[in-house]
Structures are given as structure tokens and as C-alpha cells.
Amino acid sequence: MENNDMRETDFLVASISQLSISGSSSPPVVARFRSDSLQFGLETDSSDSVQFDLLNCQLFKLGPFQSLCISEASEINKEKSFSKGITIQFRNEEESRQFHSAFEQWKKEVVVQGSSLPNGIGSCISKFDDKIEASSAKMYFHYYGQLLHQQNMMQDYVRTGTYYAAVLENRVDFTDRVVVDVGAGSGILSLFAAQAGAKHVYAVEASEMADYARKLIAGNPSLSQRITVIKGKVEEVELPEKADILISEPMGTLLVNERMLESYIIARDRFLVPNGKMFPTVGRIHMAPFSDEYLFMEIANKALFWQQQNYYGVNLTPLHGTAFQGYFSQPVVDAFDPRLLVAPAISHVIDFTTAKEEDLYEVDIPLKFVSSVGTRIHGLACWFDVLFNGSTVQRWLTTAPGAPTTHWYQLRCVLAQPIYVMPGQEITGRLQMVAHKAQSYTLNLTLSAKMWGPGAEQGGILQTSSGKLDLKEPYYRMSQPQTYATSQEQQPNQLLQAQDLQLQSQDEDGLDLLQQIT
């Protein structure tokens, strides 16, 4: 092997043969790595060489001395096709190992470095593409590229009104400042920033909505001269200058769904000046155990269909257990009565100004509550809020139960096996959120009730219930009637008192958080 400072690497191989019915082996040839290609040919004659694009080819080991190199051509009906392929015969196992090692190294260099296009977007695989499935990204950008979905968000007046107030009440943070709108959508937040006196706003949007944003902004000529729409992902685009402040609406269900928070943090690292502002600044996930017999029975009864033993002569019961677990693997998205909470909430804080992208790959939250009532606990209720830490006004956007409803609603993880608790009994557990390539999270929830009463300090866990849920596949229950009979509200005064305590705790936590940030 001959190495020329990684600009070119040559290997002598015993022979190569084209993949065809009548393919025959060649005499010994030189395999040559060059910048972004792999070339096979005689050292004295390169006219009859076989060349592969390193970005689009794959190498497979067929045996100790033999490998297969194929070049991807296109995707047909979601199946990859290949334009050409060769088998490579090595002289010994060590040379085979060295060739495979060099192939991986050269291919990695091509993917990481890529080549820069005139519009500032790299032609290599981006960080976003590397961690997100192409099919998920396609559906995601298609969804947000439609005006009806932008309208749904804009008509959430709690959301839009809070953003408007946070920006306009903090003009000092925007006046004569450079702003980057991360995932600009329709461009509404860019227009708010321009209204607040921004020097210039760069509205970065990867979906087809970028074209609509240009049209909307152009229709507001008093503001349009200070807004530039850039179509592309924040992981890839280049901007002509750094930003003094980032603005974005990166929150999904349970705050983290859709994994846009990671893009928000990447935009911070790429574009924001040191000590620049971020709107929103901080996010909090709130959690509390809940009791809801109606919801539990509604989910459990869905699986009754699979208990039929004579469905057109077919016994469906072998699938009942799988169906039962499947329904409980769906987080429930709806607006619920806060009196269903049975303990004061706890919260997990994510500071967008300091968090690392990798911190969001797996979020592990220990749980500890004290039950306010005696009841059956059916799972964990979750919601979130975000803080806009402006220089003039600090404003919160909340999705809490009992507060004005937003398009995020709230989320509940329902356990297939409820646990029983008494007043004052301690509830412990863990909520683990693991990111996956479909732009969402797998939720692993465990709740346990500990011994209570005299001698509890010597006792251990009394009951434990666990569940695995997919945040990507929720059960949207917003249209269901939210009627709760007296029998369900076992001790409404105590439940309401617990909620009051929880809200008071949130306010105190918010003050402490503001003091820490400022």
C-alpha cells in the first residue's frame, strides 16, 4: 500500500471481476482512492478502469480474501437499485483488512467534508439527515409546508399572543439587533421581530412553507426590507452574519416531540453571538400522577374486540394480549381536569442557552411524589411551559391543565396495571425518554408505591407498574367528552387542594429559576 498524505491511496489486488453472467477475472490491478472516488485499473493503462463514487458505493466482505463493491443508482418503490458491482480478490487476509479499513476512512472523509455549493448548503449528508429517517423528515416537512397546519398553530391565540407579547414587550432586546428565526414557518415570528425594531431578520425554513413566507412578508412592505427568507435546514445553511437573538417555536408534544429542540440548540451554536438572547430561553416538563377510571376503562375496552372466539368462525383471542399492550403504548393527548391529579407536580428543566444537543438524545427523570388522596393511580400526567427571559418582561407560555387550552393540550401516559395508594403514601419511579430516528421518543415509565404507615422506614416497594410508550403514535382524545361524575371525584376538595399546592410550587420554582438566570 502506498499513501500520499491522504490525497491518494493505492492497493494492489489480485484481481477483480464484473458482476455479470459471463464475468471473468482480470489480471492484478491497482485499487486507487482519490478524493471522492475509488478506481480500479491497470497501473500502466487507466483507459479501461472501473470507477466508483465513494459517497454512493458500499463494500461487503464475502470471505477472508474476497469482497463485493457495489454502486447505488436510485430508489425504486422504496427499494435500492445498483448500477454496477465488482468482486475483489485479495492476495491475503491482511491486505483485505487494510483495504476495508482504508475504504471506511476515505468514505467517512467524503461524508464529513462534502463539497460546498454556491448557496452555502453542503452536498454531504448533514447532521440532520444522519440522525433522522428520510421518510420521517419527508412527512415532517410536507406537513409543515401546508398552510392549513400553519393556520392551526397561528389560531392558537395563547401561543401566538404570548409570542407577540414577549417580543413587543421586550423591544430593547430586538431594536437594531440581528435576529434569526429558526424554523420560521409562515414567517409570523420574523414579522413580530421586525415590528419590534430588529435591524435584520433571517427567517430559516426548510419546508415549502418558505415560499409562502416570502409571499406573506412581501405583502407587508413596511417590514419586508428587513427580513430575508432562507430556504434550508439550520444544520446546513450559511448566514452572512451572527445573530444577537434567536427566536423560534421548537416545542412539540411533551416539549421534546419532533426533536426540533436539537435544531434550536444547533442554531445557537452556529449563529448566536456569545451571551446572545434566546426566545424561548428555558423549558420545563411538569409531571404528576393522576387517577382517571373512565380513561383507563376506555383504553382497556378497545381490546375487547380481540376477545371474540367466533368472529366469522375465527378465534381472535391469541392477539388480545398484544392488542391490549398496543393500546396502552399510546400516550393520550387531551385536555383534562386538573382535579384528576393526586399529588403536587415536579418539573424537569432544560435551559436552552446551555444545554447540549446530546443532552436531548436521552432524558432520564427520577420521579418522587406524595399522594394527597387514597385512590388508584392510572399513570403519569405531563405538560410543559417555556420562559421568554426578556430584559424588560419575563413571560411564560404554559400548557398546564386548568390554564387556557393550547394546540399542544396535555399528555398522559396510562399504565396497563394501576397501583393503589393511600393519603401521604410515597410514589417513586422514573421517566426515561429515548430519542429515535422517527423524530420522536420512546417513553419508559415506571411508578412504584412504597410502604406507608408505622414501620414504613423498614419497608420496601409495595407495588410497581411499568409501561413503554411511543410518543410518535399518540391517541388524540381531544374530541371526547370530558364529563366526570361525582363517583370519580372521590375527594374533590383534597384533589383541588393538591392542585393549588402544585400551582403554587410552580410559581415559586419560576421565581427561583428567574433569579438563577439573571
Residues annotated as part of the active site: 249, 258
C-alpha cell at 99: 483495504
C-alpha cell at 271: 449563529
Q: Which of the 8 DSSP states describes residue 434?
A: E
Q: Write a three-state SS string for 313-357.
A: CECCHHHHHHHHHHHHCCCEEECCCHHHECCCCEEEEEECCCCCH
**Closest listed residue to residue 286, CA positions, set 329, 346, 229:** 346
Sorted by sequence, the CB contacts under 8 Å of residue 63 that are 6+ apart come out as none
d(CA 317, CA 311): 10
C-alpha to C-alpha distance for 16 and 14, rounded to whole angstroms: 7
Give the list of residues 6+ apart from residue 91 with CB closer than 8 angstroms, or none: 12, 13, 14, 65
Nearest CA-CA partner of 418 in 286, 325, 291, 327: 291
What is the C-alpha to C-alpha distance for residues 231 and 234, in angstroms, rounded to an integer?
Answer: 9
The 3-state DSSP class for residue 366 equals strand
What is the amino acid identity at position 238? E
Diameter over CA atoms, the chain:
91
H, E, C per residue of 283-318: EEEEEEEECCHHHHHHHHHHHHHHHCCCECCECCHH
